[in-house]
Amino acid sequence: MELWFDVSLPVSGNTPDPAGDVRNLTKDIVYFMSLQNTNSSDQQTRTPPKMKFQWGSFAFSGVMDSVDETIDLFSPDGIPLRANVSISLSKHDLTFEFAQGAGGSPNSTGTTPLATAPAGASLQQMAASVGISNWQGVAQANGITNPRMLQTGTMINLSISV
């Protein structure tokens, strides 16, 4: 994943901070590569801290494998203003989870889990399985024109209706 940091651009209509150093922002990312328990003689306890990356309803817990910071813009005084930070994350447990409390309203993009239509399922069956009686409203809200013939793998938001 690549992350961009820039302190030369104005934020929310404010003027840029000419004394700002982009490394003040990127040090929070680099922290996840620093070893914890450095006073321990046991090599097993000297590991990078665990982290959780969350984007909408996607949540990934693991450790950072690598970080590479490239500074590509400097002020006339030589102060770093813009940096590209490339990170690599890994996880040994290959299950993914939906984030809880991702912020925003429950129907904002990326925050509501979607149901996957199994082979041969109808929207009526799927809605009834979660206790929804107004399957027509769910069909309309999801733009489904034929609720009896769902294509296998169709992603459906069962928590909304019209």
Average pLDDT over residues 25-48: 68
- Pair 50, 87 in one domain: yes
- Let me know if residue 107 belongs to a domain: no
Is the pLDDT at 37 greater than 70, yes or no?
A: no
Phi, psi dihedrals of residue 31, rounded to the nearest 5°: -50, -35
Which of 73, 98, 123 is a domain's end point?
Answer: 98
Per-residue pLDDT band at 111 (split at 50, 70, 90): low
Both 7 and 66 in one domain: the answer is: yes
Comparing CA positions, the residue from 35, 32, 78 lying closest to residue 53 is 32
Report residue 6's pLDDT band, with 50, 70 and 90 as the boundaries. confident
Output b/e per residue, 41-64; b: 16+ Cβ within 10 A.
eeeeeeebeeeeeeeebeebeebb
Q: Is 66 part of any domain? A: yes
What is the span of the domain harbouring residue 70?
A: 2-98
Predicted pLDDT at 92: 59
Q: Are the beta carbons of 146 and 124 closer than 8 angstroms?
A: no
Q: What is the pLDDT of residue 104?
A: 46
Q: Do both 92 and 119 map to the same domain?
A: no
What pLDDT was estimated at residue 70? 92
Question: Residues 47-95: pLDDT tens digits?
Answer: 667 778 787 777 788 878 888 899 998 988 888 999 999 988 887 555 5
Q: Does residue 103 sit within a domain?
A: no
136 and 72 together in one domain: no
How many structural domains comprise the chain? 2
Give 90-105 as a DSSP string: E-SS---EE-S--SS-
18 and 45 belong to one structural domain: yes
Q: In the beta sheet, which residues pair with residue 86?
A: 2, 68
**φ and ψ at residue 136, rounded to 5 degrees:** -65, -40
Is the same domain home to 126 and 81? no
Domain-located, residue 130: yes
Q: What pLDDT is stored for residue 71 in this prediction? A: 92
- Same domain for 35 and 69? yes
**Are 34 and 66 within one domain?**
yes
Ramachandran quadrant class, 137 (left: phi over 0; alpha: psi -120 to 50; beta: rest): alpha
What does the pLDDT average to over 35-52? 64
Q: Tokens representing 125?
A: 């069956």
Q: Is residue 109 part of a domain?
A: no
Polymer length of the chain: 162
Residues 8 and 87 in one domain: yes
Residue 152's CATH number: 3.10.350
How is residue 7 annotated by DSSP? S
- In sequence order, what are the residues at sequence separation of 6 or more whose Cβ sits closer than 8 angstroms to the Cβ of residue 90? 62, 63, 65
